Structure formats: structure tokens, C-alpha cells
């Protein structure tokens, strides 16, 4: 799955209703999903009059002696998805896309976003705003635009809890060179403007992730983390990433749409472990689970506590204490960094919890296998139903109708907890929009004579799924078949590759692109991302692609990662094929340099679209691979369907040998 915004539904309940109707963990996650999709399609495209909001903000800027105020999209934990209460950039600008950055001066206001949202931003921004279309020639970045507003004495302000320490340093240097000052404003000025209208912070209960699914006790994880602290001679690790805290303590929550996490911080030292969370969110069974191994402190106490902890360590260790530092993630906030004493007291590192979380244990790997079998059966049932509705019955279905049907089918599967992201359901030319956002009322009716691309996933208590399939229910064109087959060949090649231990996803990216490249074709997105275990569908630090960070971390046994090459003809069609694969050790005839060799285990259990395959482009090995894969899909998923059922007939047809 590629990063995308949330689509709106006209029939979504109110946020209050969403919380009230939640009666189980699965219902709770689905309720939060609904709360995230409150706006109707018509409202999504409305212009919001921001004149009064900006005037109030500018009065506050003067009170706090700020000339320029910056409003990023992220929350205090740098979450990919945010809760409604953290939608500050949307509130002040009126722009509801998932990616963007707002900057306000006393005379101007600018909103920067990328090409996915140019049209939406133009429709939603009122006359108070200048749209900075990022990536276009001669259009400044938001940092450049901000620097252009600075002259001697200019003060640029930001809430330090919503920017990373690293980003703050970079921008501070630019502003200082222009004679200005980059200032931390501890009260978020947007929240003051928002006032009582700001949505309440989610307050759903946290729940235990049993060892049956987590594979290890949190006590064991704490012990491993402390060994890492000892190795680094560190005073402790301050944890701010929500999925890392959930994983560390074997807990899950409902505070962020699609991601089963909860608002919290954690501090782990060689002797103590503290969880910063509102006590009301912890039922007695969770408190019993944590026992006397973890101290519970209020969520809002984190900054005062770490400041006191840092000061105490200096007093206790004297001069020697200045040589020891606390660890934070490179994605921790400037506010946390400042509270700990700044760069002299903090080492910003790639999170050791993130590294450990990315390597799944056997219980987590088995959970991934099992949930993908159930999920594959759900997709088969859905695709069979969709083809029957469109082709046999001649029904009229739009892209959102179809996505809702898929969610309803998935919801009946064992351990289902909600979606892992909002389904990309796209027909024809819409499939060429990589980050497509179907909205009820303005989305397309599915054309059975055009390509249909479905990128979707679910959260199950034993794992997280993410699958993309591209189908055609009619007669594809030659170019559609050729493009699909080239993408499929790349998908297979990556899944079959063998590589020495120490190889990165950066090095493997070309494996999936080679057949497209041979024809002068390509795609403008990464080839793979890490996936959590009943956690975030996008999980670092691993990935397959050309991003610099993918060259920094090698793939390891136990990693779960996507394999999703694609091809897109603007205005015509789009193709993407996505499977989940798991890194495993493999046997090879030779072991050059005495290194272990690694490969992939396939996990996704959903047929490829035989109607789109040009068999003349397949090698004998590729044909054998597809036949073996389809045989496994049939063997593992056919048990979910009754003999004579529509789904079983569709599965038999799609998995028949080539």
C-alpha cells in the first residue's frame, strides 16, 4: 500500500456516535475508522472561510512575539495517520489532504503540498492562501518560502512538539543565516484558535496483545532493550513512536485510524520502565499485565519528568555524567530533545525498538501466514462477487460501493479488527492515480470494460495485511496485457531472488523494475515497505526502493515486506501487483564468503488475473512459478467456500494451470 488520504463517506456516523457504538475491540477500531471519515464528499471540496481564524492566529502571534508561524501536518509522535484532534493544519487552512505544511505571516499565508493534492487544494483553499505546488519548477519548498520571509530580527515560531529535533536544527540554521530566530512556542497557537471546537483526544481503552500473537513477553523485550542501553553506555531511552510503545509492552489501542496504537510516551532506563498514558485508558487487566514492572505516569507529565530525570543524572554522576547521554529516536520531537537538555545530553539514533520490531518472531510470522490466508479468501469472495455484479447482473456500482462490500466481507473473518488503511478502489483512468481517493458522490462508476485496481488491507489480531490486485472483467488491450505481464514478471523476480546476508532493499529495487526498464517503462513509487504485526501497515526501517534510508539497513530473517511494482498510463489505466513476502534463510549450492544467503517466503494468498497475462511473455520458469503459487492459493483458501459457490467457481478458474 502506498501512502494515501482517507476517503469520505456520506453515511459515516458522527465522531461521538462512533465512540458510543464501539462495543468490542473490532468495533472500536472500525468506529475510529468511521470517525476519521466524517466529511461528506461535498464538504470535502468546500472552501472554508479562514479569514477569522487567521486574524485570531495573527493576534496570538503578536502576543507571543512571533512574525512567522509554522503548522506541519504531523502530531507529537510523527504519526503517519493522525487523530482528528491533531488536524491543526487542516483547521487553519481548510485543506483536508493528508500531506501538507502551512506557514502564516502577519500578511501572508502559504500551503505547500505535492502533486496528489494540487486540484483538491485549489478547490479548498480560500483567497487568503498561496498554494505552493511542491515539485514543480521554480516553485519554492516550504522551507525556502519561509526563509524568504525572514530578515534581520524576524522570529519564526513553531510548536516544538510537532517537529523533529533534526528538522528544527536545519531550519534554524537557515533562518539564522538570514538574521532571524527560530523559536519554540510551547503553547500551540492553532489549539488556542480552535478552542472548544477542537475534537477531544481519543479516550478508548488499551488492550493486551496476548503472547499467543506477540510471541514474546514484554519483560523479555525490556531485558533486550536494557542490554542495548548497556552496550551503548546510555542513561536510558525516551520512546515517542506510538507503534514502538505498543509493541514493547504488548498492548494495542484505538487512538489513530487504521493503526492500533494509543497516545503515550515511554522511558526505559537500566533500572526502571515508565509508561506515560492517561490512567483512565488502562483497564484493570492491563494494569495487572504491566504489574510492578512498569510505572504509570500521566501522559502530560513526560516533559517535566524527563527534564527532572536528566538533571538528576547530572547531580548523581557529577562530571562523569556529562559523558553519558539519553537515547531518542531520530523522529523524536524538538520538545523532547530540549527537555532532556539538548544535543549535549541526547544521542539521536535509529530506534533499537524499531529495529527489533521489524524482525518478527515465529509466532508473529505464523500469524502473518494465517491472516493472509483468511484475507486471501475474503478477496476471492469479493472479486467473484464484483465480477458477477458487473458482468452477469449488469449492476451499477461505484468505487466506494465496492470498497464497502470488501470491508463487509473481511469483517466476518476470524480475528478481524478493522482496515489497515482506506481501500483504494479505482476503475479505468482513476487506477493511474497512484494515491487515488474515491469519494462517495464524485467517484466513478466501475466500468467492466476497463481495468480495476484494488489496493486494500486489514488488521487482524494475528497480523496486518496489504494486497493489491489489478483485474479486467472484459477484453484488455494489448498494451494493458503487456504492461500487466511486465509488472507480474518483476513481482515474481523479486520474490524469487536470492541474496547474501547484508543486502539492502536499496540494492534489490532494480530486480522488480528490470522488465519495465527493458521496454523504457518505469513507476514513480517505491517497490516495498515493511509491515507491522497487528500494527502500522507502513513500518520502518526497512524498505525496497531508491530512498537513501533503504540503503542503511540490510534485510534480515523475519522481516515482512511488500513486493509491489506497477505501471501507470496517465488518463488511461494503472497496474499494481502487491504481495507480502517474508525474509528467510535459503540453501544455495555455494556460499561465497561463507555468508548465509537469504530469500523470500510468499504470504499473500490471492490469485493473479489470468485475463491480463500475456503468456507469450512468460518464461517456462515463470509459468511454473505461477502454477505452483496458484496451486498453493487454491489449497489454502478453497476450504472457506462451499461446493458450487460463486467464489469457489471463480477461484478454480483463476488458479487453473497455464
Q: Are 313 and 272 in contact (CB under 8 A)?
A: no
In this predicted structure, the answer to whether residue 280 has a pLDDT above a threshold of 90 is yes
Q: Are 419 and 378 in contact (CB under 8 A)?
A: no
Cell of 24: 468490542
Q: What is the pLDDT of residue 98?
A: 81
In this predicted structure, the answer to whether residue 606 has a pLDDT above a threshold of 70 is yes
Over residues 567-593, the pLDDT tens digits come to 999 899 999 999 999 999 999 999 998
Each residue of 350-383: b (16+ CB within 10 Å) or e?
ebbbbbbbbebeebbbebbbbbbbbbbbbbbbbb
DSSP class per residue in 45-81: TPPP--HHHHHHHHHHHHHTT-SEEEE-S--TT--SS
In this predicted structure, the answer to whether residue 207 has a pLDDT above a threshold of 50 is yes
Cell of 188: 500551540
Q: What is the pLDDT of residue 115?
A: 75
CA distance linking residue 303 with residue 337, whole number of Å = 10
- The total number of residues shown for the chain amounts to 658
The whole-number average pLDDT for the span 197-216 is 96
Share above pLDDT 90 across residues of the chain, in percent, rounded to a whole number? 86
Q: What is the pLDDT of residue 27?
A: 45
Higher-pLDDT residue of 502 and 118 is 502
Task: Using alpha carbons, list the distances in angstroms from residue 231 to 225, 227, 257, 269, 313.
Answer: 10, 6, 36, 13, 18
Of the candidates 516, 535, 533, 532, the residue with the CA atom closest to the CA atom of residue 524: 516
Q: What is the pLDDT of residue 46?
A: 76
Over residues 238-255, the pLDDT tens digits come to 999 999 999 999 999 999
Could you give the domains of the chain? 45-197 (3.40.350.10), 207-358 (3.40.350.10), 362-654 (3.90.230.10)
The confidence band for 182, taking pLDDT boundaries of 50, 70 and 90, is very high
Over residues 444-499, the pLDDT tens digits come to 999 999 999 999 999 999 999 999 999 999 999 999 999 999 999 999 999 999 99
The confidence band for 616, taking pLDDT boundaries of 50, 70 and 90, is very high
CA distance linking residue 482 with residue 332, whole number of Å = 45
In this predicted structure, the answer to whether residue 599 has a pLDDT above a threshold of 90 is yes
The model scores a pTM over 0.75: yes
The confidence band for 116, taking pLDDT boundaries of 50, 70 and 90, is low
- Provide the mean pLDDT of the chain: 92
CA distance linking residue 560 with residue 582, whole number of Å = 4
CA distance linking residue 642 with residue 648, whole number of Å = 7
Angle at CA of residue 654, ends 648 and 658, nearest 5°? 135
In this predicted structure, the answer to whether residue 321 has a pLDDT above a threshold of 80 is no
Interacting residues of 315 by C-beta distance below 8 A, sequence separation 6+:
321
Over residues 42-57, the pLDDT tens digits come to 345 678 999 999 999 9
Amino acid at each position: 500500500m502506498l501512502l494515501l488520504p482517507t476517503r469520505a463517506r456520506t453515511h459515516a456516523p458522527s465522531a461521538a456516535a462512533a465512540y458510543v457504538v464501539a462495543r468490542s475491540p473490532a468495533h472500536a477500531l472500525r468506529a475510529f475508522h468511521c470517525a476519521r471519515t466524517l466529511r461528506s464528499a461535498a464538504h470535502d471540496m468546500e472552501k472554508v472561510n479562514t479569514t477569522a481564524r487567521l486574524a485570531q492566529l495573527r493576534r496570538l502571534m503578536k502576543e507571543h512575539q512571533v512574525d512567522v508561524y509554522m503548522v506541519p501536518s504531523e502530531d507529537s509522535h510523527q504519526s503517519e495517520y493522525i487523530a482528528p484532534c491533531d488536524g491543526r493544519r487542516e483547521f487553519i487552512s481548510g485543506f483536508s489532504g493528508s500531506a501538507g505544511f502551512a506557514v502564516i505571516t502577519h500578511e501572508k499565508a502559504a500551503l505547500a503540498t505535492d502533486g496528489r493534492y494540487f486540484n483538491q487544494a485549489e478547490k479548498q483553499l480560500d483567497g487568503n492562501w498561496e498554494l505552493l505546488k511542491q515539485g514543480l519548477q521554480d516553485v519554492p519548498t516550504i522551507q525556502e518560502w519561509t526563509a524568504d520571509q525572514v530578515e534581520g530580527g524576524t522570529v519564526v515560531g513553531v510548536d516544538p512538539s510537532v517537529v523533529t529535533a533534526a528538522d528544527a536544527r536545519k531550519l534554524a540554521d537557515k533562518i539564522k543565516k538570514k538574521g532571524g530566530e527560530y523559536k519554540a512556542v510551547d503553547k500551540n497557537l492553532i489549539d488556542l484558535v480552535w478552542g472548544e471546537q477542537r475534537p477531544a483526544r481519543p479516550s478508548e481503552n488499551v488492550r493486551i496483545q496476548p503472547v499467543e500473537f506477540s510471541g514474546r513477553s514484554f519483560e523479555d523485550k525490556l531485558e533486550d532493550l536494557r542490554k542495548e542501553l548497556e552496550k551503548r553506555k546510555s542513561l536510558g531511552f525516551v520512546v515517542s513512536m506510538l507503534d514502538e510503545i505498543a509493541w514493547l509492552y504488548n498492548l494495542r489501542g484505538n487512538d489513530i485510524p487504521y493503526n492500533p496504537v494509543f497516545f503515550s510516551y515511554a522511558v526505559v532506563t537500566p533500572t526502571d520502565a515508565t509508561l506515560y498514558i492517561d490512567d483512565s485508558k488502562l483497564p484493570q487487566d492491563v494494569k495487572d499485565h504491566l504489574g510492578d514492572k512498569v510505572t504509570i505516569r500521566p501522559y502530560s507529565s513526560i516533559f517535566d519528568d524527563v527534564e527532572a530525570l536528566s538533571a538528576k543524572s547530572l547531580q548523581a554522576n557529577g562530571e562523569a555524567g556529562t559523558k553519558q547521554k539519553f537515547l531518542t529516536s531520530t523522529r523524536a520531537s524538538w520538545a523532547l530533545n530540549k527537555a532532556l537538555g539538548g544535543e549535549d545530553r541526547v544521542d539521536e539514533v535509529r530506534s533499537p525498538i524499531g529495529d527489533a520490531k521489524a524482525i518478527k518472531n515465529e509466532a508473529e510470522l505464523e500469524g502473518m501466514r494465517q491472516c493472509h490466508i483468511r484475507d486471501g479468501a475474503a478477496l476471492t469472495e469479493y472479486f467473484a462477487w464484483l465480477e458477477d455484479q458487473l458482468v452477469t447482473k449488469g449492476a451499477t456500482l461505484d468505487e466506494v460501493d465496492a470498497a464497502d462490500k470488501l470491508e463487509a466481507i473481511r469483517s466476518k473473518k476470524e480475528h478481524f479488527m478493522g482496515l489497515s488503511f482506506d481501500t483504494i478502489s479505482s476503475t479505468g483512468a482513476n487506477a493511474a492515480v497512484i494515491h487515488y481517493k474515491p469519494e462517495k458522490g464524485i467517484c466513478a462508476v466501475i466500468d467492466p470494460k476497463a481495468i480495476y485496481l484494488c489496493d486494500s488491507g486489514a488488521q487482524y489480531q494475528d497480523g496486518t495485511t496489504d494486497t493489491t490486485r489489478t483485474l479486467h472483467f472484459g477484453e484488455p488491450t494489448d498494451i494493458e496485457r503487456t504492461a500487466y505481464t511486465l509488472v507480474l514478471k518483476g513481482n515474481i523476480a523479486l520474490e524469487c531472488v536470492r541474496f547474501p546476508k547484508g543486502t539492502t532493499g536499496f540494492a534489490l529495487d532494480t530486480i522488480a523494475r528490470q522488465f519495465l526498464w527493458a521496454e523504457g517503462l518505469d513507476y514513480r513509487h517505491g517497490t516495498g515497505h515493511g509491515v507491522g504485526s497487528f500494527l502500522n501497515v507502513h513500518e520502518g526501517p526497512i524498505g525496497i526502493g531508491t530512498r537513501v534510508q533503504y540503503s542503511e539497513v540490510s534485510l534480515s530473517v523475519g522481516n515482512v515486506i511488500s513486493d509491489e511494482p506497477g505501471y501507470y498510463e496517465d488518463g488511461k489505466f494503472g497496474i499494481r501487483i502487491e504481495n507480502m513476502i517474508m525474509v528467510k534463510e535459503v540453501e544455495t549450492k555455494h556460499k561465497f564468503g561463507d555468508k548465509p544467503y537469504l530469500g523470500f517466503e510468499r504470504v499473500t494468498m490471492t490469485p493473479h488475473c489470468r485475463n491480463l497475462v500475456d503468456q507469450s511473455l512468460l518464461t517456462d520458469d515463470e509459468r511454473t512459478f505461477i502454477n505452483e503459487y496458484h496451486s498453493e492459493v487454491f489449497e489454502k483458501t478453497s476450504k472457506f467456500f462451499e461446493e458450487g459457490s460463486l467464489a469457489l467457481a471463480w477461484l478454480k478458474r483463476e488458479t487453473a494451470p497455464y
